[in-house]
Amino acid sequence: MAIRSKTFRESYYEDIKLFQTIWIRVWMVIFLVLLATLPLWGNPYLIYLINLSCITVVAAIGLNLLVGYTGQISLAHSAFIAIGAYTTAILSSKAGLPFWICLLASGGMSAAVGCALGIPCLRLKGLYLAMATMSFGVVVENVLITWDKLTGGVRGIHVAKISVLGFPLDSDNKLFYFLLIVTALVILGIKNLVRTRVGRAFIAIRDRDIAAEVMGVNITAYKVMAFTISSFVAGIAGGMYGYTMGYIHPEHFTVLLSIQYLAMIIVGGLGTVLGSIFGAVFIVLVPELIKAFSRFLAFLIPALKGQYNEEWNIAAFGLLIILFLIFEAEGLNGIWRRIKTSFKNWPYTY
> Please, what is the minimum distance in Å from the beta carbon of residue 227 to another protein?
12
Q: What gap in Å lies between CA 345 and CA 350, rounded to an integer?
A: 6
# residues near another protein by CB under 8 A? 34
Query: What is the bridge-based pairing of β-strands 167-168 and 157-158?
Result: unpaired
Enter the DSSP assignment of 165.
Answer: T
The interface mask with another protein, positions 265-284, x = CB under 8 A, is ------x-------------
Q: What are residue 162's phi and psi, to 5 degrees?
A: -80, 140
> Please, what is the minimum distance in Å from the beta carbon of residue 300 to another protein?
44
Residue number, 213 or 328, with CB nearest to another protein:
213
Asked if 200 interacts with another protein (CB under 8 A), we say yes
The interface mask with another protein, positions 11-50, x = CB under 8 A, is xxx-xx----------------------------------
Asked if 190 interacts with another protein (CB under 8 A), we say yes
Binders of another protein among residues 221 to 260 (CB under 8 A) are 225, 229
Residue number, 1 or 210, with CB nearest to another protein:
210
Q: What gap in Å lies between CA 70 and CA 251, rounded to an integer?
A: 29
Q: What gap in Å lies between CA 310 and CA 305, rounded to an integer?
A: 15
Q: What gap in Å lies between CA 115 and CA 137, rounded to an integer?
A: 15
* 65 closest CA partner among 225, 235, 278: 225
Angle at 68 between CA 289 and CA 325, to 5 degrees: 50
Q: What gap in Å lies between CA 154 and CA 145, rounded to an integer?
A: 6
The interface mask with another protein, positions 128-167, x = CB under 8 A, is ----------------------------------------
Asked if 219 interacts with another protein (CB under 8 A), we say yes
Enter the DSSP assignment of 310.
Answer: T
> Please, what is the minimum distance in Å from the beta carbon of residue 43 to another protein?
35
Q: Which stretch binds another protein (CB under 8 A): 36-44, 51-59, 197-205, 259-267?
A: 197-205
As a dihedral over the C-alpha atoms of residue 30, residue 31, residue 37, residue 41, rounded to 10 degrees, the angle is: 100
> Please, what is the minimum distance in Å from the beta carbon of residue 221 to another protein?
9
Q: What gap in Å lies between CA 8 and CA 102, rounded to an integer?
A: 46
Contact residues: another protein, CB under 8 A:
11-13, 15-16, 189-190, 192-193, 195-201, 203-204, 206-208, 210-219, 225, 229, 271
